[in-house]
A and B are shown apart, each in its own frame.
Chain A
Amino acid sequence: EVQLVESGGGLVQPGGSLRLSCAASGFTFSSYWMHWVRQAPGKGLVWVSRINSDGSSTSYADSVKGRFTISRDNAKNTLYLQMNSLRAEDTAVYYCARAEYGGGPYFDYWGQGTLVTVSS
């Protein structure tokens, strides 16, 4: 059974940092591109970042570029999101998601999410 379990969320002050983790199991983690998607309270889904299967290629939404860093440790089956210079507008539930690529990428498995609150 595919499982994605996020951790690391919490309350942080504006300008602070936080590192999210996503522990994967039930599939060959090193074979899949992985993503972070966030959802502000009461709002819709917004793509944040993605990393390819071996970690050599990354991409970011403009809203987080230069502040967030996605990475992975395939030996530990874990995905990370390092978030620096956090702003109030980064407050959201952050989901990690596994992507399938073929005719057009989609997210076939999601974690339960971890809440990040940026507030003084």
Chain B
Amino acid sequence: SYVLTQPPSVSVAPGKTARITCGGNNIGSKSVHWYQQKPGQAPVLVIYYDSDRPSGIPERFSGSNSGNTATLTISRVEAGDEADYYCQVWDSSSDHPNYVFGTGTKVTVL
């Protein structure tokens, strides 16, 4: 089955840039989506189709995807960005298509 690997944690100072990676075999050939989840809350979509932002999501959130790594970038980090972030793809490569989530990354704002 397809595996998406994320770093367990990323720490960043306010105002700086956080980069969260999502590694997968030839992930650049897939559409990658990103979710933000704050403690006790449901996930919220922040990036879809690698780099598109839903309405209401700040421009500080951006995404890219190439080769074996997709990246979520949060610019000018704010305290309110502290959350868990998950990448997600649809893997149709096997005989049992699956909706795969990454292992999750906890972003801590110092």
Q: Is A bound to B?
A: yes
A-side contacts of B49, CB under 8 Å:
102-104, 106
Q: Is the CB of B42 within 8 A of A108?
A: no
**Closest chain B residue, CB of each to CB of A99:** B99
Given A44-B86, A103-B31, A104-B89 in contact, is the A110-B100 Cβ separation under 8 Å? no
**Interface centre among A62, A102, A110, A111, by most B CB within 10 Å?**
A110
Q: Is the CB of B99 within 8 A of A112?
A: no
A11 within 8 Å of B (CB atoms): no
A-side contacts of B48, CB under 8 Å:
100, 106, 108
Chain A proximity mask over B89-110: 1 for CB below 8 Å, otherwise 0: 1100000111111111000000
B-side contacts of A103, CB under 8 Å:
31, 49
**Closest chain B residue, CB of each to CB of A111:** B42
Near A by CB (< 8 A), chain B positions 61-110 give 86, 88-90, 96-104
**Secondary structure of the A side of the interface?**
strand
Q: How far is the CA of A35 from the CA of B96 in the complex (A)?
A: 16
Q: Is the CB of B44 within 8 A of A110?
A: yes
- Which range holds the interface residue count of chain A? 20 to 34
Shortest Cβ distance from A96 into chain B, in angstroms? Answer: 10
**Closest chain B residue, CB of each to CB of A44:** B104
Q: How far is the CA of A41 from the CA of B48 in the complex (A)?
A: 26
**Closest chain B residue, CB of each to CB of A50:** B99
Q: Is the CB of B101 within 8 A of A45?
A: yes
Q: How far is the CA of A108 from the CA of B104 in the complex (A)?
A: 18
B43 within 8 Å of A (CB atoms): yes
Given A45-B104, A47-B98, A47-B100 in contact, is the A107-B42 Cβ separation under 8 Å? no
Chain B proximity mask over A92-120: 1 for CB below 8 Å, otherwise 0: 00010000101111111111110000000
Q: List 23 A-B contacts (CB under 8 A).
A: A35-B99, A37-B101, A44-B86, A44-B102, A44-B103, A45-B101, A46-B101, A47-B99, A47-B100, A47-B101, A59-B97, A103-B49, A104-B30, A104-B89, A104-B90, A106-B33, A106-B48, A107-B35, A107-B43, A107-B88, A108-B48, A108-B54, A112-B42
A residues sitting closer than 8 Å to B (CB atoms) are: 35, 37, 44-47, 50, 59, 61-62, 95, 100, 102-113
